[in-house]
Amino acid sequence: MAAKISIHLRDMVSLKQLHPDVYAEFLKGNFVVKKSKRAFPAVAIDQTHEQNNAFVKGDGGAVGLTENPAALRRWMVSGPEMARLIQEFEGSTEKRQDTDGRHHEQKRHAHCTDGICTRCAITEPSHGRDGEPVR
C-alpha cells in the first residue's frame, strides 16, 4: 500500500507538467460530482457511481443481472438515468426545501441543546470560545 501512495503522490506532483489540461480541470474542481448547489455535498466520482448503483439495486433493479450479459449491458446504460429519476422524484416529494446553504452541523440546532452550545466558537458568533453564551 505504501508503494502505491508514493506513486500516486509522484503522479499528482508532476501532473501540472505532464498533463496541463487535466491539471487545469482539477483546479476547476472537476474531480467531484456536486450533488446539490450547497458547499459540502461534493462527492468523488467513483463514490457517486457506487451511490447510483445502490439506488438502482435498492429498487430491486440489479438482482441477477450479472448472469445475463445483455441485461447487464442495458442496466449499465440505463442505470445512471434511473438513479437520476429516482432522486428527482424523491426531491419533488420533499415537504420542505432547505435553502439556507449551510451544512447541517453549522446550524444552531445541530449542536445546541437547552441553551448549552458545544461548538459555537466558529458557527455562532454570539457565543464565546468555550461555547458559553456571550453576555
The candidate with the shortest Cα–Cα distance to 41, out of 134, 113, 104, is: 104
Q: For residue 121, what pLDDT is reported?
A: 46
- Domains of the chain, by residue range, sit at 1-30, 32-93, 104-135
Per-residue pLDDT of the chain (135 residues; tens, 9 = 90+): 677 888 888 988 999 999 999 999 888 878 887 777 776 677 787 787 777 777 666 655 566 667 778 877 887 788 778 777 777 777 766 555 566 666 666 666 555 555 555 555 444 445 455 555 554
Q: For residue 16, what pLDDT is reported?
A: 94
Distance CA 45, CA 31 (A): 7
Q: For residue 20, what pLDDT is reported?
A: 94
Q: Decide: helix, strand or coil at residue 59.
A: coil
Q: For residue 13, what pLDDT is reported?
A: 92
Q: For residue 52, what pLDDT is reported?
A: 73
Residues near 101 by beta carbon (within 8 Å), at least 6 away in sequence: 37, 38, 39
Per the structure block, which three cell numbers stand in for 17?
507538467
User: Within 10 A of 120 (CB to CB), how many other CB atoms are there?
Assistant: 21
Say if residues 61 and 78 touch (Cβ distance below 8 Å): no
Q: For residue 24, what pLDDT is reported?
A: 93
Share of the chain above pLDDT 70, in %: 55
